[in-house]
C-alpha cells in the first residue's frame, strides 16, 4: 500500500491538524507523512469535499455468523461495514452457537483477523441467552470479550441483572442490556398509538421500554457498575437517562440512526422494512432523541443493523420479522434526516464515545502510527442502489433513495477499501 490522499480536511479534535486541509501519505498500512508537500506515491487520490477522521465504530450491529450465514456472514458484514465507514464494530452473541465460551471468542478472532474491519466480541451474559444462569464472564473477559449482553433480548429477571453487575464490577466490565419488557410487547407489531389503532395492529407501548429501563437504573444505583442501554426510542427514556446521569450513575446509551429518520406514520402502507424493535415512535419521541443527542444524554449513534432474508421479511406485516440493514447507510441517514445535528456531534458519537465506553484505544491521526481512518464527503449526495448493497440481505427502506453524506473509503488493518460502486 502506497497511497497519497491530497487536499483532505482532517477531523481530529485533539490533534494539531484538526480542521486543516492537508495531504496524508499511507505506506504499508501506516500514516507515513502528514503535510502539504508534493510527495510521490504509487496511487494519488483527490476528491472534492473529502474529509478524513479516525475510523468509525459501530456499537450495535447484528452479525448472524455462525448459524445464519444466509442472512449475513462475517465477510459480507465487514464489506458492508467498511462501505458505511466503519473500521471497528461489536459482534454480539446472537449466533448459533452463542459467543459464550473462550473457544468461541478465539474462533471469531481467527475467522475475522484478515478482514478490513475489526470485530470486537460481546460475550453472552447468560447461558444460551436464556436470562437465567451467568456465563463464565471473567474467563471470557480475560480472552477478549469487551462487554457482555444477551443481545436481542434483554435480561428479564432483575436478580440476574443485579448478579451480572456485581460480577462485572470486579473487573470493571460493562453490561449491555436491552430495555424491553418482553411480555408487555408480546405480539406487538409497532409503536402503540393513534397510528397502530388506525391500522389495526397490536401496539408496543413505550412503557415496555421505560419500565425495564427504570428497573435497570435502580439496580445500577443500588449496586454500582457500568451499564449501557444499546437502544432507546422514547422521550421518557431520554429523560430517565438524563436524570440518572445527573445523579452520577455510570450509564450510557445509544440510538439507531433510522430512529431519527422516521416515525410510526411512515409505516403506512404496511411496508415491513419499517418494522423494527424498538419500534419507530411518534414525532415527539423523535424530537426528544435529537435533543438527547445534542445535550449529551445519548452517547452513541449506531446502525442497528439487523439482516433478514426475503422469507422472513416479505410477509404480511403481522408475520414479518423485525429489523432493517443499516451498516452502509447509518452515517448518510443521520446526515439526511437529522439536519439539526452538527457534523462534530455525529462524529463524536461514532468515533470517540463508543471506544470510551468500551475502554478501547482511540485511533490517532499522526505520523508513524497504524492507519485507522475513514474518508468521507459529508455534503455529497448519492443513491443507495440495490446493485451496490454489500449485505447479503436487502431489508432496507433506503434502497433507491438519494441520501446526503457519502463514505469514500476506509484504511484499516493494512487495507484500503474504496467504495467503487459509489464513485462516478
Residue 348 is placed in which grid cell? 463524536
Question: Which has the closest alpha carbon to 294: 343, 250, 252, 248?
Answer: 343
pLDDT tier, 423 (very low <50, low <70, confident <90, very high otherwise) = very low
Residue 86 is placed in which grid cell? 466503519
CA dihedral 266, 271, 274, 276 (to 10 degrees): 130
C-alpha 47/C-alpha 375 separation (Å) is 10
Residue 151 is placed in which grid cell? 443481545
| Domain regions of the chain by residue span | 2-52+366-381+402-422, 55-358
The answer on pLDDT for 421 being more than 90 is no
Q: What does residue 238 show for φ and ψ, rounded to 5 degrees?
A: -60, -45
Question: How many other β-carbons are positioned within 10 Å of the β-carbon of residue 17?
Answer: 18
Residue 390 is placed in which grid cell? 454489500
* Structure confidence at residue 424 (pLDDT): 40
The answer on pLDDT for 422 being more than 60 is no
What percentage of the chain has pLDDT greater than the value 90? 88
- DSSP calls for 209-228: HHHHHHHHHHHHHHH--EEE
For residues 286-302, average pLDDT:
98
C-alpha 116/C-alpha 78 separation (Å) is 7
Higher-pLDDT residue of 131, 419: 131
* Structure confidence at residue 383 (pLDDT): 96
The answer on pLDDT for 119 being more than 90 is yes
* Structure confidence at residue 197 (pLDDT): 95
* Structure confidence at residue 65 (pLDDT): 76
For residues 210-232, average pLDDT:
98
The answer on pLDDT for 226 being more than 80 is yes
Rg (CA), the chain: 21
Helix ranges (H only) for 44-121 are: 74-83, 102-112
Mean of pLDDT over the chain:
94
Under a CB-based contact definition with an 8 Å cutoff, are residues 325 and 393 in contact? yes
| pLDDT tens-digit map of 136-170 | 999 999 999 999 999 889 999 999 999 999 999 99
Q: In what order do the strands lie in the sheet with 300-302?
A: 56-58, 86-91, 118-124, 147-149, 174-176, 226-229, 251-256, 300-302
Residue 245: exposure state from Cβ atoms within 10 A (0-12, 13-18, ≥19): middle
* Structure confidence at residue 91 (pLDDT): 86
* Structure confidence at residue 419 (pLDDT): 85
- Give the helix/strand (H/E) hosting 24: strand 21-27
C-alpha 158/C-alpha 199 separation (Å) is 35
C-alpha 319/C-alpha 190 separation (Å) is 12
C-alpha 151/C-alpha 16 separation (Å) is 39
Residue 247: exposure state from Cβ atoms within 10 A (0-12, 13-18, ≥19): exposed
| pLDDT tens-digit map of 25-56 | 999 999 999 997 778 889 999 999 999 999 99
The answer on pLDDT for 420 being more than 90 is no
Under a CB-based contact definition with an 8 Å cutoff, are residues 57 and 48 in contact? no
The answer on pLDDT for 94 being more than 80 is no
CA dihedral 329, 50, 344, 89 (to 10 degrees): 40
Residue 40 is placed in which grid cell? 510521490
Residue 50: exposure state from Cβ atoms within 10 A (0-12, 13-18, ≥19): buried
User: Which superfamily does 55-358 belong to?
Assistant: Metal-dependent hydrolases (3.20.20.140)
Under a CB-based contact definition with an 8 Å cutoff, are residues 251 and 244 in contact? yes
* Structure confidence at residue 93 (pLDDT): 65
For residues 246-272, average pLDDT:
95
| pLDDT tens-digit map of 321-367 | 999 999 999 999 999 999 999 999 999 999 999 999 999 999 999 99
Q: Which fold does the domain 2-52+366-381+402-422 belong to in CATH?
A: Urease, subunit C; domain 1 (2.30.40)
Amino acid at each position: 500500500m502506497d497511497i497519497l490522499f491530497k487536499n483532505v480536511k482532517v477531523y481530529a479534535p485533539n490533534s494539531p491538524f484538526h480542521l486543516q486541509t492537508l495531504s496524508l501519505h499511507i505506506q504499508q498500512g501506516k500514516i507515513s507523512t502528514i503535510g502539504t508537500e508534493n510527495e510521490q506515491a504509487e496511487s494519488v487520490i483527490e476528491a472534492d469535499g473529502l474529509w478524513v477522521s479516525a475510523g468509525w465504530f459501530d456499537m450495535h450491529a447484528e452479525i448472524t455468523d455462525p448459524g445464519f450465514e444466509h442472512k449475513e456472514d462475517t465477510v459480507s458484514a465487514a464489506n458492508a461495514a467498511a462501505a458505511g465507514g466503519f473500521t471497528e464494530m461489536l459482534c454480539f452473541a446472537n449466533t448459533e452457537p452463542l459467543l459464550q465460551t473462550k473457544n468461541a471468542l478465539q474462533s471469531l478472532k481467527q475467522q475475522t483477523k484478515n478482514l478490513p474491519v475489526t470485530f470486537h466480541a460481546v460475550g453472552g451474559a447468560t447461558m444460551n441467552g436464556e436470562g437465567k444462569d451467568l456465563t463464565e464472564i471473567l474467563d471470557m473477559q480475560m480472552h477478549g470479550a469487551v462487554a457482555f449482553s444477551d443481545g436481542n433480548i434483554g435480561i428479564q429477571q432483575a436478580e440476574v441483572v443485579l448478579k451480572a453487575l456485581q460480577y462485572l464490577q470486579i473487573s470493571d466490565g460493562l453490561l449491555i442490556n436491552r430495555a424491553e419488557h418482553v411480555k408487555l410487547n408480546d405480539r406487538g407489531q409497532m409503536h402503540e398509538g393513534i397510528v397502530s389503532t388506525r391500522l389495526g395492529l397490536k401496539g408496543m407501548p413505550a412503557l415496555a421500554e421505560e419500565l425495564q429501563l427504570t428497573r435497570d437504573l435502580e439496580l445500577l444505583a443500588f449496586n454500582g457498575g457500568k451499564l449501557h442501554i444499546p437502544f432507546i426510542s422514547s422521550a421518557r427514556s431520554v429523560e430517565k437517562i438524563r436524570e440518572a446521569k445527573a445523579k452520577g450513575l455510570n450509564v450510557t446509551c445509544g440510538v439507531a440512526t433510522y430512529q431519527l429518520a422516521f416515525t410510526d406514520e411512515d409505516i403506512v402502507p404496511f411496508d415491513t422494512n419499517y418494522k423494527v424493535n424498538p419500534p419507530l415512535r411518534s414525532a415527539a419521541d423523535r424530537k426528544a432523541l435529537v435533543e438527547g443527542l445534542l445535550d449529551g444524554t445519548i452517547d452513541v449513534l449506531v446502525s442497528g443493523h439487523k439482516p433478514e432474508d426475503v422469507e422472513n421479511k416479505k410477509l404480511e406485516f403481522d408475520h414479518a420479522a423485525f429489523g432493517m440493514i443499516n451498516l452502509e447507510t447509518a452515517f448518510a441517514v443521520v446526515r439526511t434526516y437529522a439536519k439539526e445535528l452538527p457534523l462534530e456531534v455525529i462524529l463524536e458519537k461514532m468515533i470517540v464515545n463508543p471506544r470510551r465506553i468500551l475502554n478501547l484505544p482511540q485511533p490517532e491521526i499522526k505520523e508513524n502510527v497504524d492507519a485507522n481512518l475513514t474518508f468521507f464527503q459529508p455534503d455529497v449526495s448519492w443513491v443507495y442502489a440495490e446493485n451496490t448493497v454489500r449485505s447479503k440481505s436487502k431489508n432496507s427502506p433506503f434502497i433507491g433513495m438519494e441520501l446526503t453524506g457519502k463514505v469514500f473509503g476506509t484504511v484499516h488493518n493494512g487495507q484500503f477499501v474504496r467504495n467503487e460502486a459509489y464513485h462516478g
